[in-house]
Amino acid sequence: MCGGFHASPYNNYVLLADAFLHGHVWINQPSPAIDALPYRGSYYIIEAPLPAIVLMPFVARFGLDTNQSLLGIAFCGIAIAALWNIMENMRVVFASRVAVAVMFFAGTDLFWCASLGDVWFLAHLASAAMTMLALRELSAERRPWLVALWACAAAESRFAMVVALPVYFAMLLLPTSFSALVEMPKLRQLQQRFMRVAPSFGGVVAVFLLAWVLYNISRWGVPTDIGYTAWYHQDSAGSPTGSPFALQYLTYELRAFFTAMPTWQSTFPYIVSPLSGIALEITSPGLLLALFARGDRRLILAMWAATILTAIPSFLYYVDGYSQFGMRHALDFEPFLMILLAAALRNRLRLWQALLCGYSAIVGTWGVWYWHAIMGRAVL
């Protein structure tokens, strides 16, 4: 990868995995680079813990020298491979499969996150991979327990993904097809499906919920997660009171997602990317192809519902991602848009569609180069 496989200095997940291996949830006093939350005399990682859990066997072997950036690259590969398999199940033509896969890899912030491997970006990569595995299961065997497992794993990577759980359940309940139109089941058939789906899907979700409650109690002494709120109260960009999610931040986020522009200068590299990112219509116009999705109406509606639901937390959050190329928070909902892109390009890849995907991938690749060659890691 363009990051040279270097270990990230923001290795929060390695520290958390080491803490788990030593039987506690707090970490030793970290360096200033680690944005751990001081709480009741200890330091805690506030990010969702799944990447740390995956890292535990490696930290057990290599200790704090474990390179979490390599896990990010692996998650990136899993996400792309799962998307490719989904498109095979959707019977998408080969040229369109290539276009959508390239779009997801380089036309979003997936490549950029994988080139760095820092804690925030590793969370995005894990979430994208787990979400794609959940969607892959929905496109094939449709085992409720496994869909729930991958969906909960995504939520344990990026908390926003928990709002997609009702969409997954609805897709299991209804005969949502990734490859053909299907009839709506009758009421009795829906009842039978519910009795078959609910116990296994709900059982897995219940286990994850119980584990999450116990994890919160062990950190904060309460069953709910107060980590991000406590961080917001001490962050210079936050507020001493209130919630980090509020309607008052919507205008700020809309500007970040849709109006943040690059600037120009007369010397190399001529185009300058703002430290806070660039709007999606500049970096990822290929996402517009989702508007042309065709196929099973229930699949299209489900993917749009998941997109909107998982986007809401990012559009109400008090920060837009700080130092970044593009808009990394969009990776929460972009996996669902990739399914819509595949549905739009299923039977044929037109030249203008290929150009949109190609342009997005070129900009994304340029962004990776720009970040490493021009800006450097010191900006994080």
**Any bridge partners for residue 264, and if so which?**
271
Q: With respect to residue 42, please indicate whether it lies within any of the assigned structural domains.
A: no
- The residues facing 44 across adjacent strands are 37
Q: Check whether the bond before 57 is cis (ω within 30° of 0).
A: no
* Domain presence at residue 165: yes
pLDDT reported for residue 186: 74
Q: So what's the pLDDT on residue 5?
A: 72
Residue 145 falls inside a structural domain: yes
Q: Which residues contact 164 (CB under 8 A, 6 or more apart)?
A: 131, 151, 154, 155, 306, 309, 310, 336
Q: DSSP assignment of 188-244, as one string? A: HHHHHHHHHHHHHHHHHHHHHHHHHHHHHHHHHSSSS--HHHHHHHHSTTS-SSS-S
Task: List residues bridging with 43 in a β-sheet.
Answer: 27, 38
Residue 177 included in any domain? yes
266 within a domain of the structure (yes/no): yes
The Cα 266–Cα 324 span in angstroms is: 23
Q: Can you give the pLDDT at residue 378?
A: 43
pLDDT in tens, 342-368: 999 999 999 999 999 999 999 999 999
Does the residue 329 lie in any domain? yes
Ranges of the chain whose pLDDT falls below 50: 1, 377-380
Print the domain residue range for 117. Answer: 68-210+239-379
Q: What is the C-alpha separation between 84 and 339, in angstroms, rounded?
A: 10
- Other beta carbons within 10 angstroms of residue 332's beta carbon come to 28
- Quote the CA–CA distance of 134 and 149 in Å, as a whole number: 8
Q: What is the pLDDT of residue 146?
A: 98
pLDDT value of residue 4: 56
Please report the pLDDT score of residue 316 as a whole number: 97
Q: What is the pLDDT of residue 174?
A: 84
**Do residues 293 and 341 make contact, with C-beta atoms less than 8 angstroms apart?**
yes
Is the CB of residue 10 less than 8 Å from the CB of residue 33? yes
Q: Give domain status of residue 92, yes or no.
A: yes
Say how many domains are in the chain: 1
Alpha helices in 22-175 (DSSP H): 50-62, 68-89, 94-106, 110-114, 119-139, 144-155, 165-173
Asked whether residue 49 is assigned to any structural domain, the reply reads: no
